[in-house]
Structure 1
């Protein structure tokens, strides 16, 4: 029979629409403005009494607290008004001090029964939720200088081992310089360095009766160091930012030496800088021998309280940027350990350093930029008030001291740890890595929450007006069938929101534009179908046959038009930046949902109303 679906097809369409309603429903529950509390290190845990102290301080400051809870990530204070976030953060930060991280956040209000089904609202991008945008520039000269410092120690160790007398000279124009008193020593050193360090381009010259050997890195090696530095810094910054719990942070490379960082939901530039300042580095050093000269050693304290400081050699074996993987586990006796894997260069340096030092201890030094907050009185807009001033203090502490049991290479293990907690934390720090080169802020912008709220309001208004105008147009032109098309359009919006929520897509302002455009695309398919039905009826075909032919013959045109648009969306996503990607995602998903609603949902409604009936006139 024409225009009749089997029962299973109706049930399948109802199932899809039902799932769409469930997974789009969380978007009806707006997030609560909140501040999140966590320890500055994993060893410092947030307890319920800390959260209650913070909540009480906020109440005394006249800031209403909706709820105060303790979670696995720390403490969460839900507020009633978004404009209270920044004042609340300042109050709690002054109360708890620099040992705690106080960050702005948005707490979901989705009912438990929806969350049990895995339903959650769409994430909002920087332009809708507010936040900060940073452009970080990597200091490539410092990256090369740091690598030269490592090479300098290795070259001098080689010359001492081979008993070649030399004089240390300062680095000049990005090249190492070593002086020799005679040509024979120079020739021997040149031969040894060419053999063990092929990345150097050597040049000899005379200066003040000295034979000087100049060691400059080759262009290929310089390019390799710069490329590695930007990639390592990118990975490190991404790992550290991800520890914040900020929804959908963006960390990506821009150009040869820049990194873009966008943190939605963070409205305080100083706080975001402090967060990025958490990026740390690691150094592997040998413990100093008892008879070592004081000038060649440096003393460090342990992160763990109660352990005496330990003297270490000043020379660094490798740094954390050469660790490619670290996993915590247990040894054959059930004691905690960390399994380390180094890159090729790091493995070679570690092998050289440990080959002749079996039985000695090796330390892992953790270098961190610790935030320090001072409050000074300043005159702001003619009113004297206390203003928080952020500064950083470099802190170096030993996180592990273990005995070298055998020569080490690319893979080895660190033992002597106090417990599984310390081994897990050490593995995390090593995996996150350190900066291969310093960075500075080349650009920073802040988007306030009020602008994000205005963007959302205007975007929603544009969507509502777009839907109303499209619905009026389609109902005016196609009458009863226009009503069915409007219902299908509403189903399409529901499915689109559900699909974006399920996939974890981030909604941006261009994404809202993509949703509005999707409305027109969805109705366009119905226009093709309804126009075809009109033509078939005008040509004398009976109504049931006209409906059947209208849907079938318009299908090829609908597929062609939507597939070409979907192809454009894929190209935009592949080649575009953040905002363009947001537009491409909503446009592409909207095309998929609109094809389903226009072809199947609309036809199902038409079949239920008109299928199998003897109709004399069709309101279309």
Structure 2
């Protein structure tokens, strides 16, 4: 007859208790958030008295997961950036010049002298003085071509990364179409990852960083002061290179030679260095950078290269003892020391006129890596905290109104059974917030709409059950049998109705982005908790009441 095994009752109440416990930290949002921030800061930079005091505001043995507030609720910054992928083409071709020069040097008897010519950014032109040897030169350069490597499917299998042509003693090198497509894909993925790492290093909460189209990136960061502040975090390129020094002087308008550039000194105003464009080592080969102090106790940055960078750095210093080389950061020469001896191991220190904060920020940027290409910001918005507070208040009022109307409706229509459904509805909201807190979901205005919709839909299953119980009571089989049959016969309708809705939520999550996903998550979780509370919790409440009262008749 109408009964539920003890182990099932224990499991149901244990699930409810766990959900309520996970949701509880949201009732003390600011306190728990301060605790979480302090714990994260202690892990990053070590413990201080102030951080320990902030961390003690919430007990460590209690759950501390929160439902994060999205950009429209908390306020923050929104940027839409376009990556200048064309910049990478020029950099790739510049890096090829030393290899081409080394490949052509053994052929000097056939081709004569080798000169790099001025050319557009996406083209590399090399002139040879003896055109009769052009065939051998073309073959030597073509031998440098490598297969295109990319995660995307390319139309031509085995395509080469460069195209080489020549006429009248001039060799022209360009990137192939397949290589450009692969480069675009890699550049976007690298820019996404570097932006994500930079924002995560700063410690912001739940940023949204998504690719839009072929060359655009959407960046939304809740809790940050302004769009300009966000641009300063992600827009700094932090491109570190080590370049050979040709000479130095005070004329910024001097004409550099082909393959050379003039850059200003960071520390000495009015001093300019002429450098070879092709770097010895770049920041891409950097594996670590940490703030430190030099021998004079001034802030500095320690750096360390990977195996490839360490070998190139060591070989260059061994071959150029007594020559100066420049440490260049973002097109400014930080330092230009003279190589006193071989520097093995691939580690060193960057010194300059830094404050402690500047050296720390520089280390963060270098660890995150250099952006592979520049960014053009097409759209920027700052959402103030006041607008976020207004949105929260509007969402709270909407939820409370919907909640109150549903509670009143259920009591008026179903009496005592309506009260049981209302208790389950309250527990349903607690379970929903517990699930959202467990996965660290971000709540936005569409997410609040999903919660309001969940409140309205949460009693659907109970309505189906109660209406079925009403019909079963007319057969005069007794209240216990009516309740049991009501749940049995309504179950298939409940499952069918909710499966169609949850399929919709899954499609929205898979195909949508940003706020649409937030709505899909709250709707999907809301359906799961609604079915659980209607089928298990409400039934357990009714059975417990029935076992105690044993009524001869019931009214639904």
Q: TM-score, normalised by structure 1?
A: 0.70
Is residue 166 of structure 2 the alignment partner of residue 166 of structure 1? no
Structure 2 alignment gaps of length 5 or more: 39-44, 147-160, 248-255, 268-272, 291-301, 351-355
The aligned counterpart of 1:414 is 346
Indicate how the Cα distance of structure 1 residues 475 and 226 shifts in structure 2: closer, same or farther if over 3 A, else same. same
The aligned counterpart of 1:547 is 483
Backbone CA RMSD of aligned residues? 4.3
Indicate how the Cα distance of structure 1 residues 515 and 365 shifts in structure 2: closer, same or farther if over 3 A, else same. farther
The aligned counterpart of 1:201 is 163
* SS in structure 2 of the partner of residue 260 of structure 1: strand
Query: Among residues 210, 228, 247, which one is paired with 2:186 in the alignment?
Result: 228
Moved more, 278-287 or 424-433: 424-433
Contact 1:286 1:312 in 2 (8 A): yes
The aligned counterpart of 1:316 is 279
The aligned counterpart of 1:176 is 124
| Structure 2: distance between partners of 1:580 and 1:21 | 26
Query: Among residues 513, 525, 542, which one is paired with 1:589 in the alignment?
Result: 525
The aligned counterpart of 2:155 is none
The aligned counterpart of 2:467 is 531
1:26-70: CA deviation from partner (whole Å, max 9, x where unpaired): 222243899xx99xxxxxx9999xxxxxxxxxxxxxxxxxxxx84
The aligned counterpart of 1:237 is 195
1:373-394: CA deviation from partner (whole Å, max 9, x where unpaired): xxxxxxxxxxxxxxxxxxxxx6
The aligned counterpart of 1:259 is 217
How big is the shift at 1:428? 6.6
| Structure 2: distance between partners of 1:402 and 1:130 | 53
The structure with the largest helix share of the pair is: 2
| Structure 1: distance between partners of 2:325 and 2:46 | 30
Query: Among residues 179, 190, 207, which one is paired with 1:249 in the alignment?
Result: 207
1:150-191: CA deviation from partner (whole Å, max 9, x where unpaired): 122332343345434123211137211122232223233212
Indicate how the Cα distance of structure 1 residues 147 and 322 shifts in structure 2: closer, same or farther if over 3 A, else same. farther
The aligned counterpart of 1:10 is 9
| Structure 2: distance between partners of 1:363 and 1:427 | 21
Query: Among residues 156, 172, 178, which one is paired with 2:101 in the alignment?
Result: 156
Contact 1:300 1:397 in 2 (8 A): no
Indicate how the Cα distance of structure 1 residues 278 and 140 shifts in structure 2: closer, same or farther if over 3 A, else same. closer
How big is the shift at 1:425? 10
Contact 1:284 1:365 in 2 (8 A): yes
Query: Among residues 120, 138, 159, which one is paired with 2:83 in the alignment?
Result: 138
* SS in structure 2 of the partner of residue 201 of structure 1: strand
Q: Please identify runs of 4+ aligned residues in structure 1 that moved more than 4 A.
A: 45-48, 284-289, 294-303, 310-314, 325-328, 337-342, 349-366, 398-406, 424-431
The structure with the largest strand share of the pair is: 1
The aligned counterpart of 1:85 is none
Is residue 235 of structure 2 the alignment partner of residue 277 of structure 1? yes
* SS in structure 1 of the partner of residue 205 of structure 2: coil
Q: TM-score, normalised by structure 2?
A: 0.77
The aligned counterpart of 2:413 is 477
Is residue 137 of structure 2 the alignment partner of residue 189 of structure 1? yes
Indicate how the Cα distance of structure 1 residues 273 and 417 shifts in structure 2: closer, same or farther if over 3 A, else same. closer
Structure 1 alignment gaps of length 5 or more: 39-44, 49-68, 77-108, 304-309, 329-336, 369-393, 407-412
Moved more, 129-138 or 225-234: 225-234
Indicate how the Cα distance of structure 1 residues 364 and 562 shifts in structure 2: closer, same or farther if over 3 A, else same. farther
* SS in structure 2 of the partner of residue 472 of structure 1: helix
Indicate how the Cα distance of structure 1 residues 173 and 17 shifts in structure 2: closer, same or farther if over 3 A, else same. closer
| Structure 2: distance between partners of 1:116 and 1:284 | 50
| Structure 2: distance between partners of 1:399 and 1:604 | 78
Residues 13-28 of structure 1 correspond to what in structure 2 (within 5 A)? 13-28=12-27
Contact 1:326 1:338 in 2 (8 A): yes
| Structure 2: distance between partners of 1:262 and 1:556 | 43
